[in-house]
C-alpha cells in the first residue's frame, strides 16, 4: 500500500526493470542468490529495493523482518540513492536510510538501508551472520572493487550458514537473500565460481532501450586533456542542438578548475547565480579513502609523450559537428555547469537531477561516479578524457600509488552509453582510435589484483578474516603470493606468530599506503623525524626524481661532446652536494634534494631542477604527496576525533637538513620498513669470495638475507649503477637495505641489481 506521486509512478513505469518485477521476485523467492544484469539507468538501484520492500522484506510483522541492505562502492551513491528511493516510496519515506562512515540516517524504523561496502564489512566483524538483514543487494559488482569482492566471498558463506541455522531453529533464524547487481553482462566470475556457489545462481538480464551513440575519436591524443575538454565543450555548446553535456575528468582539482572556466566563459543570465559551496571535511579515521579523493598522482603518460600527442585538433578534420544549433539557440547561450565528485556536499550533488534554468544547457563535470553509479538525465553529449584515477601498484618498486591511468575499453563504452539514454547521442573521445586500440585493455583488472598482496592481506586481517589462504576469492591471488604477504607482514610486526593481526597492524591498515611505508611512518614519531620520513615516503612513492648519468651520456647529438662533458661535470658537482649528508645512502640523497627544494622560492624552482638534473614533474608530485600524507598522518596519529582540513600549506612542509643524530634515526626507520630487504656483502659471510682491488663497485657481490624468488640468476645481487654507492670511491658497506631488485637481462646471464636505500651499521 505504498502511495507514490503520479509523476514518480509514471517515471518508474518507464524503467526497463519495472517490467521485470515479477520475474525478479520469483527468482529471489526460489533462490538464495540471484544475479541481475542491466544497463546503467535501467532502474536496478532505485527499483529492486522497492520490489523487495513491497513484497514484505523489512517489515517487522512478515516472514522476512530483517532489513534490506544495499551496498555501494562510493559514498556519494549511497547517499544519493537513499534519498531518491525515499522520495519514490512516498508515504514510506521514513523507512529508507543511509549509513556511510561519518554520517548516518538510520533508525528504529529503517527497512531499506543504503551503505558503502566498507560499512557492511565492518558490521560483519561484530555480527558475521548479519542477522539484522533479510536481503542484501551488492550493487555495482562489475566494478570489482576490493571491498565488493571480499563481501561477495564472505556472503557466499553467510548464505549457507543462515540456511542451515534457519532449518535448525526457524523461529530464531531466517534465511538470507543475496542479490548481486551488475551494469555489464560479464558476471561469469561470480556465477560460475565453484568457490562461491555450489550451483550457479540464476542470472536475470534486464533488456534495455539504448539509443545509438556516435563515437568521435580525436585524430591525435590530447596530451593536456583538460585543455582539450574545455575546447571541445565550448565547440559543442556553441554549435550543436540542445541536450546536456557530460564531461569525464579524473578528480576534484581538475573538475573545479573546469567548472570555473566554463562558468566564466558562458555565464548564467542576469539575476541568476551559483551558490558558493563549502567542501566536505572528512575525518580520515572514519572514512575509506576513495581513489578519486586523493589529489596526487604521477602521470605515467608524461613519459611516453610522443608525436602522437598534440593539443591541436585540425578544425576541418574534427568529427561530430555535422548538426547545427536549433531554432531559439545561440552560440552564446548560458551553460549551467555543475561539478560531481565524492567530496561535494550531497545537496550539491543532487542538483544534477534538477531542471537547469530556462534557456541554459546542462553541463556536468564528473569523475568516474557518473560512469555507472549515477545516471544524469537528458545527457546527449559525452566528452571523455579516457582516464581515471585508480589505486595501483608498481611491481618493480613495490610502491602503491594513486595514478591517472587509461580506462578500459569496457569503461569507455559505458561512458559513451551515457549519451544514449533519452535519444541518439554523441561521444567525443579526447584520444585517438590508435591509442584506444593499443593502450586500452578490454576490461579493467579487478582491484584485488592491482594491489600489492600485503595490502590486501592486511586489509582482510583488519576485518577479522584470519584464514586468508582458504578465503573464497572471486579472483584469487596465487597462494604463493598470499603466503609471502603474510610473511612480510609478520616481519613488519603487523601479524603475530599465529598470523593474527597486532595492534600495530591495525594502525598500519588505516594508512592508504603500502604496509612498508605505513610502518615507517608509525615508527617515525620520535626525535622529530616524522616530517623527514613523510618527505622520504613521498619521494619513494612517487618515483625517482634523479636524472641518471646515463641519460646525459646517451642524450643529444653525438657531435655535442663538449657540451655533454660540461653537463657531466655540472651533474657530478650537483650530485656531490646531495650526498654531503651521507655518502652511503640513496635515501638520504633523496631527502637532501627534497629539503634543498623547500628553500628555493616557487619562481626559481624550475631553474633549480634543471641545474640539478631533477625531474620537475616528479618533484612537484612529491610536494603534493607530502601535503596529503601530512594530513593523513595528522588525523591518524592524533588522539581526539577532529575534522582536519585536507589543505596543508607549503610553508608547513619546509624542512632544514636533519642533524647527525636524526640521520642515524632515519636510517633505522627506513630499515624498519624494509627489514626483509637486507643484503650482506658476500665476502663478509663467505671467506672464499675475494674482491679484486680494481673491481668496479657495481661488480661487487652481495647476498640477500632472505632468499629471492629468482632462480636463473647467479645467486648474487649487485649495486645499481645509479646508486650513490657506485661513486662512493671506497669499499661499499657490509650491510645494505634495498628498495627493490630489478633484473637486467640484457646480457646472457641475468644480473639482479638492487636499488639501495641505506647502509646499516
Ligand atoms: P541503475 O541502477 O540501473 O543504473 P537507477 O535506478 O540508478 O538505474 O536509475 C533509474 C533512473 O532514475 C535513472 O533514469 C535516473 O536518472 C533516475 N534517478 C535516479 N536518482 C534520481 C533523482 N534523485 N532524481 C531524479 N531522477 C533520479
Ligand atoms: Mg545503479
Question: Tens digits of per-residue pLDDT, 341-366?
Answer: 987 887 888 899 999 999 999 999 99
> Per-residue pLDDT for 568 more than 80?
yes
CA distances from 555 to 429, 547, 560, 570, 574 (A): 34, 11, 10, 15, 19
**Rounded to 5°, angle at Cα 231 from 225 and 233:** 100
Q: Is the CB of 38 under 6 A from ligand 1?
A: yes
Helices 453-462 and 146-168 pack at an angle, to 10 degrees, of 40
Using a 10 angstrom Cβ sphere, with 0-12 exposed, 13-18 middle and 19 or more buried, the burial of residue 178 is buried
123 alpha carbon to ligand 2 midpoint, in Å?
Answer: 23
> Per-residue pLDDT for 205 more than 60?
yes
Res. 528 pLDDT band, cuts 50 70 90: confident
Ligand 1, atom nearest to 81 Cα:
20
Q: Is the CB of 284 under 6 A from ligand 1?
A: no
Which residue has 646480457 as its cell numbers?
Answer: 747
What is the best residue among 24, 39, 43, 419 to mutate for testing ligand 1's pocket, by most ligand atoms within 8 Å of CB?
43
108 backbone dihedrals φ, ψ, rounded to 5°:
-50, -45
Using a 10 angstrom Cβ sphere, with 0-12 exposed, 13-18 middle and 19 or more buried, the burial of residue 48 is buried
Neighbours of 54 (CB within 10 A): 16
418 alpha carbon to ligand 2 midpoint, in Å?
Answer: 13
Q: Is the ipTM of this complex over 0.95?
A: yes
46 alpha carbon to ligand 1 midpoint, in Å?
Answer: 6
Question: Which DSSP string do the residues of 396-424 spell out, in sequence order?
Answer: TTTEEEEEEEE--HHHHHHHHHGGGSSS-
> Per-residue pLDDT for 213 more than 70?
yes
Average pLDDT of the chain, as a whole number: 88
Beta bridge partners of residue 138, listed in sequence order? 71, 180
Ligand 1, atom nearest to 42 Cα:
3
Listed range (293-302, 395-404, 432-441) with the worst mean pLDDT = 293-302
- Closest by Cα among 52, 483, 428 to 230: 428
Helices 479-491 and 453-462 pack at an angle, to 10 degrees, of 70
Res. 297 pLDDT band, cuts 50 70 90: very low
C-alpha to C-alpha distance for 600 and 683, rounded to whole angstroms: 44
Which residue has 579523493 as its cell numbers?
Answer: 293
Question: Which DSSP string do the residues of 116-130 spell out, in sequence order?
Answer: EHHHHHHHHHH-TT-
Sign of CA dihedral 671, 675, 681, 687: positive
In the numeric block, which cell numbers belong to residue 201?
Answer: 545462481
Mean pLDDT of the 670-694 span: 91
Q: Is the CB of 377 under 6 A from ligand 1?
A: yes
What is the best residue among 98, 375, 377, 418 to mutate for testing ligand 1's pocket, by most ligand atoms within 8 Å of CB?
375
C-alpha to C-alpha distance for 598 and 607, rounded to whole angstroms: 14
Res. 307 pLDDT band, cuts 50 70 90: very low
* pLDDT at position 521: 93
Question: Which DSSP string do the residues of 68-119 spell out, in sequence order?
Answer: EEEEESSHHHHHHHHHHHHHHTGGGGGGEEEEETTEE---TT--EEEEEHHH
Mean pLDDT of the 646-672 span: 88
Nearest ligand to the C-alpha atom of residue 7: 1
Q: Is the CB of 40 under 6 A from ligand 1?
A: yes
Mean pLDDT of the 194-222 span: 92
Query: What is the SS3 assignment for 681?
Result: strand
Ligand 1, atom nearest to 80 Cα:
23
Which residue has 584469487 as its cell numbers?
Answer: 476
Cβ-proximal residues to 343 (8 Å cutoff; 6+ apart), any chain: 252, 279, 280, 282, 293
> Per-residue pLDDT for 643 more than 60?
no
Minimal-distance CA residue to ligand 1 atom 16:
375
Residue spans of alpha helices (H) in 327-468? 346-349, 369-372, 409-417, 433-439, 447-450, 453-462
Res. 306 pLDDT band, cuts 50 70 90: very low
> Per-residue pLDDT for 438 more than 80?
yes
Res. 280 pLDDT band, cuts 50 70 90: low
Ligand 1, atom nearest to 87 Cα:
23
Ligand 1, atom nearest to 374 Cα:
7
> Per-residue pLDDT for 301 more than 50?
no
pLDDT digits 0-9 by tens, 54-104: 999 999 889 999 999 999 998 889 999 999 999 999 999 999 999 987 677
670 alpha carbon to ligand 2 midpoint, in Å?
Answer: 45
Mean pLDDT of the 101-120 span: 88
Q: Is the CB of 72 under 6 A from ligand 1?
A: no
Ligand 1, atom nearest to 39 Cα:
3
CA distances from 532 to 325, 417, 564 (A): 58, 47, 34
pTM of this prediction? Answer: 0.82
374 alpha carbon to ligand 1 midpoint, in Å?
Answer: 7
Minimal-distance CA residue to ligand 1 atom 14:
41
47 alpha carbon to ligand 2 midpoint, in Å?
Answer: 10
* pLDDT at position 745: 59
> Per-residue pLDDT for 317 more than 80?
no
Mean pLDDT of the 23-43 span: 96
Most confidently predicted of 76-80, 131-135, 420-424: 131-135
C-alpha torsion 36→40→41→46, nearest 10: 50
pLDDT digits 0-9 by tens, 471-480: 999 999 999 9
Minimal-distance CA residue to ligand 1 atom 7:
45
C-alpha to C-alpha distance for 561 and 301, rounded to whole angstroms: 31
Res. 6 pLDDT band, cuts 50 70 90: very high
Contact indicator for 226, 258 with CB cutoff of 8 Å: yes
What is the best residue among 9, 84, 179, 206 to mutate for testing ligand 1's pocket, by most ligand atoms within 8 Å of CB?
84
Res. 397 pLDDT band, cuts 50 70 90: low
40 alpha carbon to ligand 2 midpoint, in Å?
Answer: 6
Strands 425-429 vs 678-681: parallel, antiparallel or unpaired: unpaired
C-alpha 554: how far from chain center? 36
Contact indicator for 201, 159 with CB cutoff of 8 Å: no
- Closest by Cα among 347, 277, 252, 287 to 103: 287
Residue spans of alpha helices (H) in 492-615? 503-509, 515-523, 530-542, 549-554, 561-578, 586-598, 602-611
C-alpha to C-alpha distance for 221 and 307, rounded to whole angstroms: 9
What is the best residue among 8, 38, 41 to mutate for testing ligand 1's pocket, by most ligand atoms within 8 Å of CB?
41
Ligand 1, atom nearest to 206 Cα:
3
Nearest ligand to the C-alpha atom of residue 40: 1
Mean pLDDT of the 454-467 span: 90
Nearest ligand to the C-alpha atom of residue 17: 1
In the numeric block, which cell numbers belong to residue 715?
Answer: 645467486
* pLDDT at position 222: 77
pLDDT digits 0-9 by tens, 698-737: 999 999 998 776 666 778 999 999 999 998 889 999 999 9
78 alpha carbon to ligand 1 midpoint, in Å?
Answer: 13
Ligand 1, atom nearest to 17 Cα:
3
* pLDDT at position 253: 85
81 alpha carbon to ligand 2 midpoint, in Å?
Answer: 8
Query: Percentage of the chain with pLDDT > 70?
Result: 90
C-alpha 450: how far from chain center? 10
Amino acid at each position: 500500500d505504498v502511495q507514490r506521486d503520479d509523476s514518480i509512478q509514471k517515471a518508474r513505469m518507464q524503467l526497463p526493470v519495472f517490467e521485470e518485477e515479477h520475474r525478479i521476485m520469483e527468482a529471489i523467492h526460489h533462490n538464495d542468490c540471484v544475479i541481475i544484469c542491466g544497463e546503467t539507468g535501467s532502474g536496478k538501484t532505485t527499483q529492486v529495493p522497492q520490489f523487495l520492500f513491497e513484497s514484505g522484506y523489512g517489515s517487522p510483522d512478515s516472514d522476512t523482518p530483517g532489513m534490506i541492505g544495499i551496498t555501494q562502492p562510493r559514498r556519494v551513491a549511497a547517499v544519493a540513492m537513499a534519498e531518491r528511493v525515499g522520495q519514490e516510496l512516498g508515504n514510506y519515506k521514513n523507512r529508507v536510510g543511509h549509513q556511510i562512515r561519518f554520517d548516518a540516517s538510520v533508525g528504529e524504523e529503517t527497512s531499506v538501508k543504503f551503505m558503502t561496502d566498507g560499512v557492511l564489512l565492518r558490521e560483519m566483524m561484530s555480527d558475521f551472520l548479519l542477522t539484522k538483514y533479510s536481503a542484501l543487494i551488492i550493487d555495482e559488482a562489475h566494478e570489482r572493487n576490493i571491498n565488493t569482492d571480499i563481501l561477495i566471498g564472505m556472503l557466499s558463506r553467510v548464505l549457507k550458514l543462515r540456511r542451515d541455522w534457519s532449518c535448525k531453529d526457524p523461529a530464531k533464524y531466517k534465511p538470507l537473500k543475496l542479490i548481486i547487481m551488475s551494469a555489464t553482462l560479464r558476471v561469469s566470475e561470480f556465477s560460475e565460481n565453484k568457490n562461491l556457489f555450489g550451483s550457479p545462481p540464476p542470472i536475470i538480464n534486464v533488456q534495455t532501450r539504448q539509443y545509438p551513440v556516435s563515437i568521435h575519436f580525436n585524430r591525435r591524443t590530447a596530451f593536456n586533456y583538460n585543455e582539450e575538454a574545455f575546447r571541445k565543450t565550448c565547440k559543442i555548446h556553441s554549435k550543436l542542438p540542445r541536450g546536456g553535456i557530460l564531461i569525464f575528468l579524473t578528480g576534484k582539482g581538475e573538475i573545479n578548475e573546469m567548472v570555473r572556466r566554463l562558468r566564466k566563459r558562458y555565464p548564467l543570465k542576469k539575476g541568476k547565480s551559483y551558490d558558493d559551496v563549502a567542501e566536505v571535511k572528512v575525518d580520515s579515521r572514519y572514512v575509506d579513502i576513495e581513489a578519486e579523493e586523493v589529489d596526487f598522482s604521477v602521470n605515467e603518460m608524461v613519459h611516453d609523450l610522443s608525436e602522437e600527442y598534440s593539443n591541436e585538433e585540425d578544425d576541418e578534420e574534427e568529427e561530430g559537428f555535422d548538426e547545427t544549433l536549433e531554432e531559439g539557440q545561440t552560440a552564446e547561450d548560458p551553460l549551467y555547469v555543475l561539478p560531481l565528485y565524492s567530496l561535494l556536499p550531497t545537496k550539491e550533488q543532487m542538483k544534477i537531477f534538477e531542471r537547469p534554468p530556462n534557456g541554459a544547457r546542462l553541463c556536468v563535470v564528473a569523475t568516474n561516479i557518473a560512469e555507472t553509479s549515477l545516471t544524469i538525465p537528458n545527457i546527449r553529449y559525452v566528452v571523455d578524457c579516457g582516464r581515471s584515477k585508480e589505486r595501483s601498484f608498481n611491481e618493480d618498486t613495490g610502491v602503491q600509488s594513486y595514478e591517472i591511468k587509461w580506462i578500459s575499453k569496457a569503461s569507455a563504452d559505458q561512458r559513451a552509453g551515457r549519451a544514449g539514454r533519452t535519444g541518439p547521442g554523441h561521444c567525443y573521445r579526447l584520444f585517438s582510435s590508435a591509442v584506444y586500440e593499443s593502450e586500452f585493455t578490454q576490461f579493467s583488472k579487478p582491484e584485488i589484483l592491482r594491489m600489492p598482496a600485503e595490502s590486501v592481506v592486511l586489509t582482510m586481517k583488519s576485518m577479522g578474516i584470519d584464514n586468508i589462504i582458504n578465503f573464497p576469492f572471486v579472483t584469487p591471488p596465487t597462494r604463493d603470493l598470499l603466503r609471502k604477504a603474510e610473511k612480510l607482514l609478520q616481519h613488519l610486526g603487523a601479524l603475530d606468530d599465529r598470523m593474527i593481526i597486532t595492534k600495530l597492524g591495525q594502525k598500519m591498515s588505516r594508512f592508504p599506503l603500502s604496509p612498508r611505508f605505513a610502518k615507517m611512518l608509525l615508527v617515525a614519531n620520535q626525535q622529530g623525524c616524522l616530517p623527514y620520513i613523510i618527505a622520504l615516503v613521498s619521494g619513494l612513492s612517487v618515483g625517482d626524481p634523479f636524472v641518471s648519468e646515463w641519460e646525459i651520456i646517451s642524450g643529444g647529438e653525438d657531435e655535442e661532446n663538449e657540451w655533454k662533458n660540461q653537463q657531466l661535470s655540472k651533474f657530478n658537482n650537483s650530485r656531490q652536494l646531495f650526498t654531503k649528508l651521507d655518502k652511503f645512502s640513496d635515501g638520504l640523497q633523496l631527502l637532501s634534494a627534497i629539503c634543498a627544494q623547500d628553500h628555493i622560492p616557487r619562481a626559481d624552482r624550475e631553474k633549480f631542477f634543471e641545474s640539478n638534473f631533477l625531474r620537475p614533474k616528479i618533484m612537484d608530485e612529491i610536494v603534493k604527496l607530502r601535503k596529503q600524507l601530512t594530513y593523513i598522518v595528522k588525523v591518524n596519529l592524533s588522539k581526539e576525533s577532529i575534522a582536519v582540513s585536507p589543505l596543508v600549506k607549503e610553508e608547513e612542509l619546509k624542512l632544514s637538513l636533519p642533524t647527525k643524530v636524526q640521520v642515524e634515526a632515519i636510517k633505522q626507520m627506513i630499515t624498519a620498513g624494509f627489514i626483509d630487504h637486507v643484503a650482506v656483502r658476500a665476502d663478509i659471510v663467505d671467506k672464499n669470495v675475494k674482491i679484486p682491488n680494481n673491481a668496479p663497485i657495481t661488480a661487487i657481490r652481495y647476498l640477500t638475507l632472505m632468499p629471492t624468488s629468482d632462480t636463473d640468476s647467479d645467486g648474487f645481487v649487485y649495486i645499481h649503477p645509479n646508486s650513490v654507492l657506485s661513486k662512493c670511491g671506497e669499499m661499499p658497506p657490509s650491510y645494505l637495505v634495498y628498495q627493490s631488485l630489478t633484473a637486467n637481462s640484457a646480457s646472457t646471464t641475468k644480473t639482479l641489481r638492487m636499488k639501495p636505500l641505506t647502509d646499516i651499521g
